[in-house]
Every structure is written in structure tokens, then in C-alpha cells.
Amino acid sequence: MGDDERAESTAESGSAAAEAAVEAAETSASPTGAPEDDLSQKTDTKATKAKEPKPPRDLRDLLLRTAAALACATCMVLGSPDASLWWLGLFGWLPWLWLIDGRSPRSAFWFGWLAGTVTVFWGFIWISELLTRFAGFDALPTLGLHLLFSAFQGLQWAIPAAVLAAIQRRTGRELLFIAPLAWCVGEALLPHVFPSYLALMWCWQPLWLQTAELGGVCTVGLVMLSINSGLYCALKAWIRERRVDRRALALFLGVLIGAPTYGAIRMAQIDALAEASPKVKVGVVQGNFGITQWSHPRYKGEILRRLQRESARLESQGAELILWGETAYPYSRAIPRQNARDLPEKHPRRVRQGFSAPLIFGLVTDDRTTSRFPWNTAMVLNADGSVGDIYDKNYPLAFGEYIPLVDPEWYLEMVPAASYINPGNEPKALGVGDYRFGPLICYEDILPRFARDIANQRISAFVNLTNDSWFGKTKEQYQHLGLAVLRTIENRRPLLRAVNAGVSAYVDPNGRMILETEVTDPDVDGLQDPVGFVAEVPMIDPEYRTPYSYFGEGLNTLALIGLVILGLRPPRRREQAR
């Protein structure tokens, strides 16, 4: 290579080195050593990702949370009256709390809805029996209606879960107090077709139910979720941080010990009140006939004679008042609604034969001058044969005795097995001798607000007239009875239930099951002999009232206010640090 070529090559090398040095200097000006444009893009991408909600982590997370939803459903169903594993209520809500803790409101809603829908579908499986057996539906429509009902009622789990998650996301709070309040408010405000209160898990454990007198059935749900929420937060703090969460432990232990302690004290006080009250011996008759027999003219006379014979037997055992079930008197429209007396002595449809005690009984009545549709009525037949007070069922059973927002004529044409009745227009008491009884027909005994209105009619005891034969021999009878138990504690009135095919029962003012009968299924097994019992019932002072009797849903209102405050007010720094 010549001198000129070497000089040119050296110059080109120097120029390239200079360009490389400049590029290196520009590159080193960025702190990461990357080009500024690339760094800017990466920074923007990170900022965008930070603003985006985190997607579900992976399939494993989805499966775990689905399993948690199913575990929660299993705990509630197994805790219900037929299985009666009541102790599951002390920790069975941990899976529900875990599957929504820290999730987005949307995710919490869907997982909560899954838990609720499965719970209702499984726990209310008897709805399929009702639809296929008496409404005449095929399997596919039955399944569809059952799923629709379950999905609707499952919102009771979904909406509180979403509210809880939304408050957590907005404020950064732990769910310790949010969860019990959200559930209590949801239970109180969300509509029910058939109520599915948490208190049903403890219906045979009166020691744990006594707080119902403070604010009603939803108060028991508040107690249960408080125990579970305290336990969950205490376990979470220990497992994740090896830290003792004193607030969570205080809530858990305080409610776990405090609720049954309160129950023991109040039960002793109410026992003393009942002991000091005058007593009436009431004979409860269970006719043990089904829908098929009641509807067939061939059986009506036999049903009436059997009711009369059992009533006479109970009167011979000291019964001073007799109680029959809902529409137990089989001859519809036979007794007038006004200025009426029992039929003549030799009349085959006469109500009282062979006994003389006053009678409260259920029947179908009508008044063609005011309506072509009948009433489902509870009537008093006095000892002298005159008809006393009457009460008409205020809340007909949806889809069985009426259908909302639909012309009844069209409905009866489409579902011939159904019926339509006029609703009563007010709560009333039935006077028998010196005492007043509060009538609740069929599922009115699971409606706490209406039962409170009845209790405030200055009654001494509830009487419930029910026909649960529509549901066969299923879970329904014990779920119905389990929910009815709460009315005795809320209002401190004993409850007498006459149910045409069971379960008939006497429940004392503390919610204890004193007497009960077996469930029968006459529509499958045929007409059976009636059964009954005589209960010595305390006539509670009609002026005696509980906090729930006075203030009704006041505690639920306070829970709603507390939930709003927690949702609007950010936590203090010390709570946030936790």
C-alpha cells in the first residue's frame, strides 16, 4: 500500500472512531444505557401497564377460586336443617371471603354469584319436585326455571361481594368490618322469592339465635359473618406476615363468646317470663291428607271426619283450643264470611262434630258480591257455634296462588293446577276467649316484617296454618320450619304450627322445638291417619315487646350507614400500614 492510500485509510478510521464516540456519548446520556427513544417507549409502556387492571393470574387461580365458591356452597347446604351441620357456620364462609378478597368488583361479583347460584340450586332442589309433580312441567322447562330462580336468588351472594370489593379497592381497607356489614345490608335489602337467610344454618341452635330480638333475622347473619371475617383476617395476617392481628382476634373471639353468652342470659330471662304467664292447652291436628285427596270429592267427607275424631281425642287430653291446618276444612265456600254459624247438627259438612272446644281452622271462603276469586282464610269457630274473627292470607304464594303482573284468567288457563286467591288487606289478630292469637298462613311465617306487624296486634302467641303437601317429602318442610323458628325469638311469642302433612310443631318463645310431628306424603302413600299433640302454651303479656318489635329494621339501617361511612372515609395511616 502506498503512502497516499495509508493516509486515506487512517483518515476513514479516525472518522469512524469519532462517529462511534459521539454515538456512545449520546447513548451514555440515558441512565439505562439504552437509546432515549427506546427508553421513552419502555417508560410509557410501564406506566400504561400500571394503570391497567391486572388480568386473572392463570388457570390455576381460576380453578382455586371456583373450588372456593363450591366449598362455600357446600358448607351452607350441609349446615341447613336437614343435614344440620350447624358448626359449619363458624368457619364455612372463609372460602367466600378468600375468593373475593382483593379482587376487582367484577371478579368478586361473578365468583360470589357462582357460590350463591350453586347454593340455591342445591339447597332448593325441591322446587323441581313442585314443578314436575303439581305444575306438570317437563324436565327441561323445570331445569330452566330452577336455574333461573337460582341465578336470581344467587345475587344475594354476588352483590355484597361486589360491594365489598369496591370498598376495598377505593379505600384500601381490610374486609374485617366491611364483609359483615355488606352481607347484613344485602340480606335485608335484596328481594327474595323464598328467603335464604344465613340464620337457617343455626335454626336448631337457639343459643346462637337470640340476637334476632335486637334487629331481626339479618342480625344473626351479621353475627355469623363477623365470626368468619375476624377468623379470616387473623389467619391471613399470621400466614402471610407471621403477625398477630389483634383487632381481628378481638372481633372473632368477642362475637364467638359474646353471642352464646347473650343467648344464655336472655333464654333464662324469657323462660322466667313464660313460667309466670298464664297457660292455655292447645291441641294441634295434622290431618295427613295430600293435594290429591283434598281435591277429590270422594275423600272430602273422610278427611273431615278424621279431623273431627283427632280433635275429640285431643280435647279428651285437656285441649282447650283446637288448631287445624291451612284449608284443612275440605269444603270450599261452604261457610259464609259474615254473620255466620256452623252448619246444622246433622249436616254432613258441619265443622264441629264430637268435640266442643273453640277451633281455629283454615278454609277457602268467597263473597261473589265483591270478587269472583276466593280468599285463603283462617277462621275462629267459637264454642257456641258462632263464627268469630276471620283473617285472610295477606301474602299469597307467588306462582302458586297468584302470578305477578299477569292476568289471572290467562294464568289459570295456562296452568290449570295453579290457583288464584285474593290477598287480605291487613294484619289482624284472632280473639279466642281472653286471648288474642296472631295468624300466619303458609309461608307468612317466614316473612319477618309481616310477622312483626302481626305480633304488634297485641297477641299472646302465633298460630301458623300451613299446607306443605305441594313439595312432597323433601327438604322444604324443615327449611320452612327452620325459618319460622326465628319469629318466636324476634317477637318473644310462642308458635303453634298445624301443617296438613307435617311438620306440625310447638316452638317456645326462645326458639326451642318442644313438640313436632313427622312429615308424611299422602299423595304418594295414600290417605293416612291424622296425628296431633297437646301443648301447654304460655300466653305472653300482649304488651311485652322486644327491640325488634319496637324498632324493626333499625339495626339494618345502622349497618347500611356504617357501610357507607367505611366506603367514603379512607382508613387512618396506621390501618393502611397494616
**Res 28: pLDDT:** 41
The predicted model scores a pTM of: 0.86
Residue ranges of the alpha helices (H) in 333-475? Answer: 408-414, 448-455
CA–CA gap between residue 491 and residue 508 (Å, rounded): 11
In 10 A of CB 145, how many CB atoms?
A: 16
Helices (H), 124-216: 126-133, 139-153, 155-171, 178-189, 212-215
Written as nine digits, the cell of 409 is: 284468567
Confidence (pLDDT) at 572: 63
Across the beta sheet with 435-441, the strand order is 430-432, 435-441, 461-466, 495-499, 505-507, 513-516
Angle between helices 476-491 and 217-241 (to 10 degrees): 100
| Cβ within 8 Å of residue 125, ≥6 positions away | 146, 474, 475
**96-136 per-position pLDDT tens digit:** 999 999 999 999 999 999 999 999 999 999 888 778 877 67
**The predicted structure's pLDDT at residue 23:** 43
Non-local (6+) Cβ contacts of 194 within 8 A are 124, 153, 443, 446
Which portions of the chain are predicted below pLDDT 70?
1-57, 135, 399, 417-418, 572-578
Task: Give percent helix, percent strand, percent coil of the chain, each to the nearest 5.
Answer: 55, 10, 35
Preceding amide of 503 cis, omega within 30? yes
Residues 521 and 202: their CA atoms lie apart, in Å, by 26
CB atoms closer than 10 angstroms to residue 337: 17
Checking DSSP bridges between strand 387-392 and strand 430-432, what pairing results, if any?
unpaired
Q: Where are the domains of the chain?
A: 59-270+555-577, 278-540
If you classify domain 278-540 with CATH, what class do you get? alpha beta
Predicted local confidence at residue 417, as pLDDT = 65
